Structure 1
Amino acid sequence: MRIFLIRHTESIGNRKKVYAGLTDFDLTEKGLSQIDSVITQFMKMIEPTSRYTLYSSPLRRCTLLSDAIEGLIGESKIVDYRLQETNFGQFEGKTYSDLLNEVPEVLEKWNEDLIHFQIPNGESLKQCAERVNKFSHDIRSKNEDVIVVSHGGIMKLLLLNLLHLDLSHFWKFYTSNGCIIEIEYNDGFGFLKNIIQLN
């Protein structure tokens, strides 16, 4: 099976460099224009005669892109709440500098254990990975070609699950806005086939 992981284009949260998990930020003008660039790149990668199942995070920064992909593949998206970005709770809408000034003790605890520390009113990376892994299990069991439009963190968690890599490798991957990652997955084995980063 072929699995395409696609990150949403630039959002207002990205532009502001804030932690943007469940906050439903709109796209910037650049983000809106990047949709055409993603579609142009993606058209070169998919097989026009193949059928793809399209999944999307429910947040607007993802559904705008998945709407465009619907037109390309002729299939309606399936919105799955497990594809929402990490819930950053108390960190939502804040920059790292904001957190240093406002809640340095909480930030210190998070930095000491980035995998297991649960952000107040939010979730830990481990908790986020558990819901993403359930989604990954579901798509693998169906064994069909899929397109997943989601967020930078969610893409990396899916990548780790599909490649059977430990959560500690989370920070070894970079996913730009509009990034497209292609994975081949067959008989319990996945490998990274292609990465396209938008300029």
Structure 2
Amino acid sequence: MGKLILIRHGETDLNKAGVYFGKLDPELNCVGKSQGEKTRDVLENLKINYDNIYTSDLKRASETAQLVNYKNLEINYSSKLQELHFGIFEGYSYEQLKKIYPKELEFAEKNWENYNYKTGESVKELQERAVNFVEQELDLKKDNIIVTHWGVINTLLSYFFSKNLESYWKYSVNNGGIVIIEFLEDFPILKGLNIGG
């Protein structure tokens, strides 16, 4: 019986600004660093064990991984755990997009599963990338931490607990929040959602 422990990175100034960003690579701000430290304390105090720790190679996630890694294990970095690439939407707020890319925004809202933001990727492609990483690169009989992004976490939750992307929008994981999925003979059980977040 193994656990998949998903941790959302701490806050950045771009989170605070409310813009679309996936590939953009900001560092944690002061709040984000505090969230990482709090998450470390939660993991340690609840005695949440882990055999391996993986992280997106983007700064906000990798910095969070370094903060939460209370066992000081070697951290494994992977671009496969990066956030959704928002393409032409990167760095813009919703209000700005309504003026700059109104047609693209309307199409993205109607066809959110498949729209690739012209130079980015679709949520469906993100889910395939995240699921392939978990199923092909992890030993799910062990306890694995993945420090990653909102989109990655929600595509995985939707994959394991509904059909495809059916429940993608139904989970709320805050910056620094912990999600625990336990595998009982390959059957996923949600043991915790947004712990500490």
* TM bin (shorter chain): over 0.9
Match of 1:100 in 2: 98
Letter in 1 for 2:159: N
Partner SS state of residue 136, structure 1? helix
- Residue 8 of structure 1 deviates from its aligned partner by 0.4
- Residue 30 of structure 1 deviates from its aligned partner by 1.1
Match of 2:159 in 1: 161
Which whole-Å deviations, capped at 9, do the CAs of 1:15-65 have from their partners, x for residues lacking one? Answer: 110011010011121111222111111113335xx5511000001101111
When residues 56 and 36 of structure 1 are mapped into structure 2, their CA distance, relative to the original with a 3 A threshold, is same
Please provide the CA RMSD for this pair. 1.6
Query: What's the TM-score, normalizing by structure 2?
Result: 0.93
- Residue 177 of structure 1 deviates from its aligned partner by 0.5
Structure 1 distance, partners of 2:136, 2:149, is: 19
Q: Could you tell me whether the CA contact under 8 Å between 1:52 and 1:146 is conserved in 2?
A: yes
Q: Percent identity?
A: 29
Match of 2:62 in 1: 63
Deviates most, 164-173 or 125-134: 164-173
Structure 1: gaps (5+ residues): none
Structure 1 distance, partners of 2:145, 2:115, is: 31
Structure 2 distance, partners of 1:35, 1:140, is: 23
Matched, 1:53 2:48: no
Match of 1:40 in 2: 41
Structure 2: gaps (5+ residues): none
Structure 2 distance, partners of 1:51, 1:10, is: 24
**For this pair of structures, how many residues does the alignment match?**
196
- Residue 168 of structure 1 deviates from its aligned partner by 2.0
- Residue 197 of structure 1 deviates from its aligned partner by 4.6
Partner SS state of residue 65, structure 1? helix
Deviates most, 145-154 or 188-197: 188-197
- Residue 141 of structure 1 deviates from its aligned partner by 4.7
Partner SS state of residue 119, structure 2? coil
Query: What's the TM-score, normalizing by structure 1?
Result: 0.92
When residues 51 and 4 of structure 1 are mapped into structure 2, their CA distance, relative to the original with a 3 A threshold, is closer
